[in-house]
Amino acid sequence: MHQDLYDVAIIGCGPAGLQAAIHAASKKAEVIVFGRARKSGLYKAHIANFCCYERPISGKDLLQAGRKQAESFDAAFVEEDVIETKNENNLFSLVTESGNTFTSRTLILCLGVTRKKLRVKGEKELVGRGVSYCVDCDANFYRGLDVAVVGNESAAAIGAVTLLSYAKTVYLICRELTITDTLYEKLKNSNVKIIKDTWVKEVIGTNEVEGVLLKNGEALKVNGIFVERGAKSALELAANLGVLFDTETVSFIEINKKQETNIPGLYAAGDITGQPWQIAKAVGEGCVAGIEAAEYAKKLAGD
């Protein structure tokens, strides 16, 4: 875990990421996996249609077994979200939520798909007029204004801290934060006003956002609300690396049969490459991506 350069870095530790880790590590590649298992869509699921398991199995049990298996092949795990990705000189560098940087010859994106929207009254109507889904994209439009960020994980916490450089007041609305201690300290020592144990009930405004109504009955007067659920999305992490998405939906990463994206050394597997969202498809793609990435890294290391 403390080495300078990995062969294969994997973002996401659901079935695609785990299978990729197992195959890459069993090929003797140095593997590192990022993410939290409980955020996989599989974690709370019971699976009844996965080959060779006749009786329904718990997703949590599968994920825990998969991690142990990957670790037995010496894959390293970091239970943090990746917040920044860069691709320079044939190497990928990843920054995690607590600020550590990791470098790898290849990168496999197994980010899954997350629900971005809150689905509350007023949200849809005011998108682009105060409702935003991307702090990095839109912070600059809120200079000197009051804003709220909604979310429980790294994207919300980092988003709130980022917004302090632009907005006058920044609120962070969350049920309970799932972030590293380092990030929590950073947040606590900042001017972000944290409002815990509640959630957004309604976005208020006619032509533009005027405020938000919370489930605890509180009303906040804000000019903008940033919905930042989960970790940074594929659109932000991958698109910044120049990865092509399918033009029809702009939701899924385009890959070939080797799970390669349009960027050399960059692979994608699992739900992020499109439907069907099934564990069987995820592990199949993860297997291919893991093998391909390990081989690519070996070639690169030999040069």
Partner 1 sequence: MGQGVLDVDDNNFESEILKADKPALVDFWAPWCGPCKAIGPAIKELEETYGNSIVFARCNVDNSPNTPTQYSIRAIPTLILFQDGKVVDQVVGAVPKSHLEELVKKVL
Q: Is 231 in the site for partner 1 (CB under 8 A)?
A: no
| Min dist. Cβ of residue 249 to partner 1 (A) | 5
User: Considering the rule CB under 8 A, would residue 95 count as an interface residue with partner 1?
Assistant: no
Q: Which of 235, 266, 272, 283 binds partner 1 (CB under 8 A)?
A: 235
C-beta of 136: minimal distance to partner 1 in Å?
Answer: 7
Binding mask 180-209 for partner 1 (x = CB under 8 A): ----------------------------x-
* Nearest residue (CB) to partner 1, 135 versus 192: 135
Q: Does 138 bind partner 1 (CB under 8 A)?
A: yes
In angstroms, what is the minimal distance from the CB of 245 to partner 1? Answer: 5
- Choices 13-21, 173-181, 213-221, 242-250; region in contact with partner 1 by CB under 8 A: 242-250
CB of 33 to partner 1, least distance (A): 22
Place of tokens 């980092």: 158
| The two structure tokens encoding residue 268 | 């994608």
Phi then psi dihedrals of residue 101, to 5 deg: -110, 135
First vs last C-alpha separation in the chain: 24
Q: Does 274 bind partner 1 (CB under 8 A)?
A: no
Stretch that binds partner 1, among 60-68, 131-139, 181-189, 190-198 (CB under 8 A): 131-139
Q: Which of 104, 102, 76, 75 is nearest to 89 (CA)?
A: 104
Using the rule CB under 8 A, is 144 a contact of partner 1?
no
244 binds partner 1 (CB under 8 A): yes
Total of residues contacting partner 1 (CB under 8 A) = 30
Stretch that binds partner 1, among 4-12, 39-47, 212-220, 235-243 (CB under 8 A): 235-243
Cβ contact 237:111 at 8 Å: yes
Q: Is 146 in the site for partner 1 (CB under 8 A)?
A: no
Q: Does 238 bind partner 1 (CB under 8 A)?
A: yes
Q: Which residues bind partner 1 (CB under 8 A)?
A: 127-134, 136-138, 140-142, 208, 224, 235-240, 242, 244-245, 247-251
